[in-house]
Amino acid sequence: MEPTVVERGRVSRVQPSEFTAWVEPHLPAMSRYAARLVPAADRDDVLQEALVRAWRRHSTYDARVGAPLPWLLAIVADRARRHRTRTRPTVELADASVETVETDVDLERAVLQLSGRQRQAVDLHYFVGLDVATCAQVMGCAEGTVKATLHQARGRLRALLGDDFGGAS
């Protein structure tokens, strides 16, 4: 990709075809991460908002600082956070005459019970498929912190799901 050109005090934008080629390999990971952060019905909106933001802010991306994927995933996380604050939560009223019995705690509900940082590490590493180094870049911390956070998260998931949980250590 060509360096950014400054014309009359204004930063020129990258060509749309160049931006598309640059971002396209990262779309699956961006989509998976958005799906982890917002309800399924909102995933595409968040992804679209993230792409628009990345397009507008592309001139601020510095390849010397890091790879594109962590930068793009940070934008997805920001757009998801903003999306959640804009939308009002819906309340479902339960029928009081029906007794609900939980027979088993599923993985999704268990992941939702993790701390925000643990959930972010689990989402990025296990659901998006990032390596520890890239997780650290997205999370803004050291690789050792990511490893420790994943270890703590797996322990919490084992406690929530019972001893039968066979998560990787």
Whole-number Å distance between alpha carbons of 113 and 68: 30
pLDDT digits (tens, 9 = 90+) for 103-159: 344 888 889 899 999 999 999 999 999 999 999 999 999 999 999 999 999 999 999
CATH number of 107-161: 1.10.10.10
Q: Tell me the CATH class for 11-86.
A: mainly alpha
Helices 68-86, 132-139: crossing angle, 10 deg rounding: 50
pLDDT at residue 4, rounded to an integer? 45
- pTM greater than 0.85 (yes/no): no
Domain coordinates of the chain in residue numbers? Answer: 11-86, 107-161
pLDDT digits (tens, 9 = 90+) for 61-104: 988 888 999 999 999 999 999 988 775 554 444 444 434 334 34
pLDDT at residue 65, rounded to an integer? 85
pLDDT class of 5 with cuts at 50, 70, 90: very low
- From residue 90, how far is each of 10, 39, 102, 105, 113 by CA, in Å? 44, 12, 22, 23, 19
Residue type, 145: T
